[in-house]
């Protein structure tokens, strides 16, 4: 896997709609070469996000009172909430590189990071005609620990991954995650016991060779 250093932006809890606005700005800046390839680490308040192909029957009961937002990324329904580390990747693809190629790289970098946490993980190939198995799964228990959904526009990626760290997993049971009826979503805490957000954040940043930007750049 080639070296691909990224600039790092760190935030705590950011409203999903506001994050989408900011991400669009970052993408436009990268398209104009006004910023480097960037990893934005953050978390969201409770929200379900869906792709354009997500069936209505996969949505949660409105009585759960968790917002459902349609997004332009690939993939199906996913859940975001406190205790989940989201990584948005604004990266310029090489001339011979597609977004699917980059997603494979993202999977392997996350597998390496989870290994540092003592969690053996793997990616899965999707059988023909099956729902996409994009993401990262625990090798020992066969549970899904990372969801990935990305897109590219004019050669720049957006959206990214969501790693369950130490949050509540119950909302995953209230909808059909990733289009997979039998998926068992898990977290770093469930698999490794003592994993915390403070422990996981720097490990994920290191896996993506991501370093903090200057204050001036962050406010550009």
List the catalytic residues: 178
Q: SS3 of 6, please? A: strand
Nearest to 86 by CA among 16, 186, 4: 16
* CA dist., res. 91 & res. 27, Å (int): 8
φ/ψ of residue 3, rounded to 5: -70, 135
DSSP character at residue 79 = E
The DSSP-derived string for 11-70 is EEE--HHHHHHHHHHHHHHHHTTSS--EEEEEE-SSEEEE-TT--GGGSPPGGG---EEE
CA distance readout (Å), 194 to 18, 171, 172, 189, 205: 31, 21, 21, 6, 19
């Amino acid at each position: 896997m080639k070296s691909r250093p990224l600039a790092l932006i760190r935030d705590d809890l950011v409203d999903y709609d506001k994050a989408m606005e900011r991400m669009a700005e970052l993408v436009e800046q990268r398209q104009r070469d006004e910023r480097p390839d960037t990893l934005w680490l953050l978390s969201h308040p409770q929200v379900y996000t869906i792709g354009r192909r997500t069936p209505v029957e996969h949505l949660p009961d409105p009585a759960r009172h968790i917002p459902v937002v349609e997004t332009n990324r690939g993939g199906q329904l996913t859940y975001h909430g406190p205790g989940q580390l989201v990584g948005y990747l604004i990266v310029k693809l090489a001339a011979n590189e597609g977004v699917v190629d980059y997603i494979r790289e993202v999977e392997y970098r996350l597998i390496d990071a989870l290994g540092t946490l003592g969690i053996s993980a793997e990616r899965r190939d999707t059988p023909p005609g099956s729902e996409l198995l994009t993401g990262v799964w625990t090798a020992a228990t066969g549970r899904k620990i990372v969801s990935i959904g990305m897109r590219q526009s004019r050669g720049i990626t957006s959206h990214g991954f969501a790693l369950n760290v130490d949050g509540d997993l119950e909302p995953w049971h209230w909808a059909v995650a990733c289009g997979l009826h039998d998926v068992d979503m898990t977290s770093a805490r469930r698999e490794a016991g003592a994993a915390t957000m403070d422990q996981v954040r720097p490990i994920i940043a290191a896996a993506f060779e991501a370093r903090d930007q200057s204050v001036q750049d962050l406010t550009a």
